[in-house]
């Protein structure tokens, strides 16, 4: 499989955020890669497709605390990496483009000159203390995908991922190109980008993100009813859906019964330690709340200035039998 020597698409020096987002919209960036191939825990291919086809704006994460601290700490983590490895690191103020797949773009955190390992890439990450478990076996899959995308675009022989976990646990992981994984990644990115070019949505995947995308694509209904009684595929989907829904409802009922039996055994006890875990059943603190319904009934003129419109949403209901 041929890997790039990347082409510089455009300089990012003095580029505004709006200009940068416009360039990013022209292809799949490294942070899009996991979404495009369906392994991101946050965004589905369908939701990414809405953004790339300009049907939906990408979320503005500028005010997100995790993004703010990641950006703020990036240069500090990069400097610590340089000090501990003896490497020279520098910014590359450019969006890079794969020479054979021009939709594959990359904006690197740093490029590295390692004292013994030559030229490589540095990807900087921050993680909360609760996310430490996801790093115990190495770089999480979605970030590995991001790095493989960068290696494919640049043709570099390695990338170090420097992560600061919980503000004090500093780790460095080395990722080298896996040609089979990289070939598969490029193949799947090509398939996704073809959906963008052809303006054909990728399939749903059952994720919460995919559900949001469907709600955005079809926010209202026409009021008509389709006759799918002879549609084999539609009827098969319905049958499978009903089967799994019944299984879920049965499992929910059984779960509730077992929970109640445990609560019955606890009685007035606050909790119990078991051989494989522990349970608790504690009373929350007393609090007060406002009866807004009664307030609106007694003093509608007080409430009216604070009312805001709430758009209706579509509900998916199922009925078995004619």
The CATH number of 7-210 is 3.90.320.10
Burial of 152 (0-12, 13-18, 19+ CB in 10 A): buried
Q: Are strands 110-114 and 118-127 parallel, antiparallel or unpaired?
A: antiparallel
Q: First-to-last CA distance in the chain?
A: 56
C-alpha 135/C-alpha 125 separation (Å) is 11
In three-state secondary structure terms, 113 is: strand
pLDDT digits (tens, 9 = 90+) for 189-218: 999 999 999 999 999 999 999 999 999 999
pLDDT at 58: 86
DSSP reduced 3-state for 273: strand
DSSP state of 285: P
- The domains of the chain are located at 7-210, 232-306
Banded pLDDT at 153 (limits 50, 70, 90): very high
Cβ(160)–Cβ(122) below 8 Å: yes
Average pLDDT over residues 72-84: 96
Spatial contact of 157 and 113, defined as CB atoms under 8 Å apart: no
Token reading at 110 = 């740093």
Spell out the SS3 assignment of 231-264: CHHHHHHHHHHHHHHHHHHHHHHHHHHHHHHHHH
- CA gap 29, 102 in Å, rounded: 11
| CA–CA distance, 150 with 177 (Å, rounded to integer) | 10
Confidence band, pLDDT 50/70/90 cuts, at residue 43: very high
Q: Residue 4 — very low, low, confident or very high, per pLDDT cuts 50/70/90?
A: low
Q: From the centroid of its chain, how far is CA 171?
A: 23
User: Residue holding tokens 């499992």?
Assistant: 251
pLDDT beyond 60 at 287: yes
Report the C-alpha gap between 85 and 294 in whole angstroms.
66
Cα–Cα distance for residue pair 142/161, rounded to 1 Å: 13
Q: Which pLDDT belongs to residue 61?
A: 73
H/E element, 119 = strand 118-127
pLDDT of residue 283: 92
Question: Is the distance from CB of 30 to CB of 43 less than 8 angstroms?
Answer: no
Question: Encoding tokens for residue 252?
Answer: 């929910």
pLDDT band, residue 67 (cuts 50/70/90): confident
Q: In the numeric block, which tokens belong to residue 16?
A: 């505004």
| Percent of the chain at pLDDT exceeding 90 | 73
Tell me the C-alpha distance between 37 and 181, whole Å. 12
């Amino acid at each position: 499989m041929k890997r790039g020597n990347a082409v510089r698409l455009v300089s990012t020096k003095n580029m505004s955020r709006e200009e940068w987002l416009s360039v990013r919209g022209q292809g799949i960036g490294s942070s899009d890669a996991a979404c495009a191939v369906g392994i991101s825990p946050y965004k589905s291919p369908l939701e990414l497709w809405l953004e790339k086809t300009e049907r939906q704006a990408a979320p503005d994460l500028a005010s997100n605390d995790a993004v703010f601290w990641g950006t703020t700490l990036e240069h500090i983590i990069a400097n610590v990496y340089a000090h501990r490895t003896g490497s020279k690191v520098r910014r590359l103020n450019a969006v890079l483009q794969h020479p054979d797949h021009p939709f594959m773009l990359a904006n690197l955190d740093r490029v590295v000159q390692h004292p013994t390992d030559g030229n490589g890439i540095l990807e900087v990450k921050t993680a909360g203390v609760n996310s430490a478990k996801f790093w115990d076996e190495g770089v999480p899959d979605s970030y590995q995908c991001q790095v493989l995308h960068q290696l494919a675009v640049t043709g570099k022989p390695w990338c170090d991922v420097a992560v600061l976990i919980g503000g004090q646990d500093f780790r460095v992981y080395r990722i080298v190109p896996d040609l089979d994984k990289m070939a598969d990644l490029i193949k799947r990115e090509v398939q996704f980008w073809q959906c963008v070019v052809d303006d054909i949505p990728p399939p749903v995947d059952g994720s919460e993100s995919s559900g949001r995308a469907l709600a955005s694509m079809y926010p209202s209904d026409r009021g008509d009813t389709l006759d799918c009684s002879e549609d084999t595929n539609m009827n098969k989907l319905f049958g499978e859906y009903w089967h799994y829904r019944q299984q879920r409802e049965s499992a929910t009922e059984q779960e509730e019964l077992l929970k109640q039996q445990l609560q019955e055994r606890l009685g007035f006890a606050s909790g119990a330690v078991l051989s494989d875990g522990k349970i608790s059943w504690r009373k929350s603190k007393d609090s007060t709340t406002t009866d807004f319904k009664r307030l609106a009934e007694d003093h509608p003129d007080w409430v009216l200035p604070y009312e805001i419109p709430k758009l209706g949403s579509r509900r998916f209901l199922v009925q078995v039998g004619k």
